[in-house]
Structure 1
Amino acid sequence: MRAARLSMHCRFFVLATLALAGWHCAAAQQLEGGESFDSQVIDDGVQGVVIDRTITFIGRSFFSYFSGEWINHPAQGKFSLSIHERPSARTGSIIWIENERNVVYRGVFSPARSAIESTAKGVAQMLAGRLEEEMLRRQLIVNPDLAEDEW
């Protein structure tokens, strides 16, 4: 039994080593073309995704109304967003939206749920314009003293 376990661990180690060596060879072949690894753009092809990280009915309702409005905007395919929620018994729910690890919207919703639909649709329209303006600002303003996410 112990020999079988040891044999299984050895096989896993050999397979992992071979896989890592294969990846290293493929990366080395790409670098032989004269480009540095840092200069290559890695595109995973995932854009226009809205991730639901909400917990309560308030958050799920906000996500449903927001995503229903967001999908109608032309900006929808350019940005990936994640919607987060922190529920509170006293104040309702705090909902925030992140784009590229930056908080682009934060709001507090009461447990009454009366204005969720109108607010979510308004936030979707507002974010579409704001994110496109920020993208244009990044493309137009080139300052070697600032990093890409600073302005």
Structure 2
Amino acid sequence: METQRPSTGDSSGCVLACLLRRPALFRAFGLACALLAAPLQAPLQAAEEEDEIRGFIVDNSISHIGHEFYRYFSERLRDTSRLDFNLVVRERPSARWGSLVWVEYEGRTLYRRFLAPNVSEVQPVAYEAADLIQEAVTRQKLESLLQDTYDLDKDEL
């Protein structure tokens, strides 16, 4: 004689109980869910990469000479390259020594230099820095494309 359970109208509980009693069925269900969800994740990751805004040069300078350096630096970069990356120009001014100016790309310092308080020589220094930064960013992008990331993700290296 078979005993029947009272029906509560909740079929999801019955399906879950059935899956938990049969481990092979549970594994197959999990695999099916993973296979169905995989194609949905790729467009989301691509959309996240495309949504990043690029072409910013952030000015975190403080003094007049730092702002002049930023102005000439960004002018040179915008004139000579397609800005598909973001940079940050930072400065630590000193009344005694001038200003320490550095440029960061993806959290890494690519350029660092002390600038004397003499404003007349800022333009050639900023232009030289822009050219060096452009080469360094191109080199880093090329290295990241050629990097073997089979075992580890790129941010783990």
The number of aligned residues is 120
How far apart are the structure 2 equivalents of 1:92 and 1:145?
46
1:66 pairs, out of 70, 73, 92, with: 73
Counterpart CA distance in 2 for 1:69 and 1:110 is 21
Task: Give unpaired runs (5+ residues) of structure 1.
Answer: 1-30
Structure 2 distance, partners of 1:40, 1:32, is 13
Q: Which structure has more helix as a fraction of its residues?
A: 2
Distance of 1:134 and 1:33 partners within structure 2 = 30
Question: 1: CA distance between counterparts of 2:58 and 2:115?
Answer: 19
Equivalent residue for 1:140? Answer: 146
Structure 1 residue aligned with 2:45, among 30, 40, 52? Answer: 40
Ranges of 4+ aligned residues in structure 1 off by more than 6 Å: none
Specify the code of the residue in structure 2 equivalent to 1:46. Answer: I
Q: What is residue 117 of structure 2 aligned with on the other side?
A: 111
How far apart in 2 are the matches of 1:67 and 1:123? 10
In structure 2, the residue matched to 1:87 is 93
**Alignment deviations for residues 13-39 of structure 1 (CA, whole Å, 9 cap, x no partner):** xxxxxxxxxxxxxxxxxx9574448x7
TM-score (norm. length: structure 1): 0.69
Q: Tell me the SS of whatever aligns to 1:84.
A: strand
What fraction of aligned residue pairs are identical, expressed as a percent? Answer: 31
For 2:105, which of 90, 99, 105 is the aligned residue?
99
Root-mean-square deviation over aligned CA pairs? 2.5
CA distance in 1, matches of 2:155, 2:112: 19
Deviation at 1:110, TM superposition (A): 1.0
Larger Rg: 2
Question: How far 1:141 sits from its partner (Å)?
Answer: 2.1
Q: Distance in 1 between matches of 2:139 and 2:75?
A: 22
